[in-house]
Structure 1
Amino acid sequence: MSSERVRFIYRLKPGAGEEYDRAHTRVPEELLDLLSEAGISDYTIWRHEEILVCEFHSAIGFENSHQLLSASDVQRRWTESLTHLFEKIDDNGQPLWLGQVFRFEGTPPQI
């Protein structure tokens, strides 16, 4: 098991952005608990029009987190509630996975 940061892109159907945003103002507590149980933290989603950029940290590695999430009815229900908002990106319904090119962690200035 190795810790990793995961990033990917999804595309929403035209006009689906506001509904997607609304759904994420009421993420079920049981889903948030499941994400934690699956080793996921620091999950952030950014949206520009119909483009979503998603990032999270998996303490146990993406494949392990994915297995735990995939086995859950909580995750299945959440995914089904949003599926109609997404454009199909590939034949398997997968997002576009992003590989890291550069990262600068730096040190915050002492003020």
Structure 2
Amino acid sequence: MSIQAFKMQLKPGVIAEYRKRHDEIWPELSALLTDSGISDYSIFLDENTLSLFAVLKVAEVNSQADMPHHPVMKRWWDYMAPLMEVEPDNRPKEWPLPMIFHHA
């Protein structure tokens, strides 16, 4: 199991809608995350900068690399695109955050 972290960026005025959409996460997206080897996925918000910080665990054997091609993932990105900074394919812009300390 490995831990990954990255940063994303919200647009102004969308915190409540972003939270609502995640509170109502689609069951098929939740299943895709689990089936792809992702667990313990949390997203934190810095309200001053609108930066989102995501932390997740990834199983040693996983299909995370296939997720961008999955129709459910593409649909979710299209759904979330109006709320965040995105790439041309509506994938959220992500900035990897290297781990520099871990206390188990």
Q: Contact 1:4 / 1:61 at 8 angstroms: preserved in 2?
A: no
Cα gap change, 1:74/1:96 in structure 2, threshold over 3 Å: closer, same or farther? Answer: same
Structure 1 CA distance for aligned equivalents of residues 20 and 92 of structure 2: 22
Tell me which residue corresponds to 2:74. 76
Q: Does 1:18 align with 2:16?
A: yes
Calculate percent identity across the aligned residue pairs: 28
Residue 29 of structure 1: how far off its partner (Å): 0.5
Q: Do the aligned partners of 2:9 and 2:93 also contact (CA within 8 Å) in 1?
A: no
Letter in 2 for 1:36: T
Letter in 1 for 2:77: T
- TM superposition outliers: structure 1 runs of 4+ over 3 Å: none
Residue 9 of structure 1 is matched in structure 2 by 7
Q: Does 1:52 align with 2:52?
A: yes
Q: Secondary structure at the match of 2:23?
A: coil
Q: Is the 8 A contact 1:39 1:59 kept in 2?
A: yes
Indicate the RMSD between aligned Cα atoms, in angstroms.
Answer: 2.0
Q: Secondary structure at the match of 1:27?
A: coil
Q: TM-score, normalised by structure 2?
A: 0.84
Q: Following TM superposition, by how much is the alpha carbon of 1:14 offset from its aligned partner in structure 2, in angstroms? A: 0.9
**Could you tell which deviates more after superposition, 25-34 or 53-62?**
53-62
Tell me the TM-score normalised to structure 1 length: 0.80
How many pairs align?
99
> Could you list the runs of 5+ residues in structure 2 that have no partner in the other structure?
none
User: CA offsets, 1:45-71, max 9 Å, x none?
Assistant: 111221111011110367x4132x122
**Cα deviation per residue 1:49-100 (whole Å; 9 max; x = unaligned)?**
21111011110367x4132x122111110111001111358xx963110000
